[in-house]
Amino acid sequence: MAGALWFRRTRVLAAVLGILLHSSIVVTMANDNIVLLAFALTCVSLYPLFFVRRVGAAVLGSSGQECLGYRPRSSARTPG
């Protein structure tokens, strides 16, 4: 199911199944319900990240590596 989140065609189905899975864990396991609820909410809160468009490459350049502090060296060396 986690692999299905990476593909556009299967993303919605994987998110729905993931929400159902994490909800069923909370419902079916009565012991430690608070801990499981926190776990399920944490997992479910990450699903929207798979539906947001990537804007870093459009703003920062073709690869987006500038945000990591990487700057490609120029081909011409300056004397120094």
Q: Does residue 7 have a pLDDT over 80?
A: yes
pLDDT at 60: 53
What span, in angstroms and rounded, lies between the C-alpha atoms of 40 and 48?
Answer: 14
What span, in angstroms and rounded, lies between the C-alpha atoms of 37 and 55?
Answer: 32
pLDDT at 75: 56
How far CA 76 is from CA of 37, 38, 44, 64, in Å, comes to 57, 54, 49, 23
State the alpha helices, DSSP H only, in 1-80.
Answer: 11-28, 33-45, 56-60
What is the CA angle 20-8-21, rounded to 5? 10
Q: Which two tokens stand for residue 16?
A: 């729905």
pLDDT digits (tens, 9 = 90+) for 25-79: 878 876 767 888 888 888 888 888 888 776 655 555 555 555 555 555 665 555 6
